[in-house]
Amino acid sequence: MALEFSPETLKRFEATVARYPKKEAAMLPVLYLAQREFGHLGPEAIAYVARLMGQSPARVHGVVSFYTMYNVKPIGRHHVQVCRTLSCALGGAEKITAIITKKIGIEPGQTTADGRFTLSEVECLASCGTAPMMQVNDDYYENLTEEKVTAILDGLK
């Protein structure tokens, strides 16, 4: 069966589009809704959003591939995204990534075999004053230390 939004998400889609003067301007929040609904934005999800938005799949794919917050491949239950931009880099982001890699056994860009974690390195998440930091799904974890990172990962089931 082809992908489509649940009735509840379809209502949110309509409310989102109504907030913008042109449908096309709602592309980013609509893609966010699609990612929440489908887990990731593979070719089928992109084709569906393209139909909803009256755009070509190539155009939607262009938007999806430009932003790191959209996932084109399936991701783990916990998407661990370590910021590697300047403030975080100076604060030890590389070490944070190395600690995570050692603890969960995957490199950035990989997902654990049990589907529990995906690890990514991303650019600035606008929390530079609390570097080094990472985002896990919708939550920010800041002023990271080895102890903090270990405790956070242990707490993610």
Residues of this chain that interact with ligand FES (CB under 6 A) are 83, 85-88, 124-128, 131, 133
Q: Which is nearer to ligand FES, 55 or 97 (CB)?
A: 97
SS3 category, 119: strand
Q: Least distance in Å: CB of 37 to ligand FES?
A: 28
User: Measured between alpha carbons, how far is residue 62 from residues 56, 65, 67 in Å?
Assistant: 10, 5, 9
**Beta-carbon-side half-sphere exposure of residue 43 (alpha carbons within 13 Å):** 0
Helix (H, G, I), strand (E, B) or coil at 58: helix
Q: How far is the CB of 107 from ligand FES (least distance, A)?
A: 20
Name residue, tokens 């809704």. 33
94: Cβ–Cβ under 8 A, 6 or more apart, which residues?
A: 84
Q: Which two tokens stand for residue 55?
A: 């755009």
Q: Please state the closest distance from residue 135 (CB atom) to ligand FES, in A.
A: 9
CB closer to ligand FES out of 16 and 85: 85
Cβ distance to ligand FES smaller for residue 52 or 80 = 80
Question: In terms of CB distance, is 45 or 133 closer to ligand FES?
Answer: 133
Q: Which residues have a Cβ under 8 Å from the Cβ of 35 and sit 6 or more positions away? A: 41, 45, 70, 71
CB of 5 to ligand FES, least distance (A): 32
Least distance (Å) from ligand FES to the CB of residue 94?
12
CA distance 125 to 14: 28
Closest to ligand FES by CB, 46 vs 149, is: 149
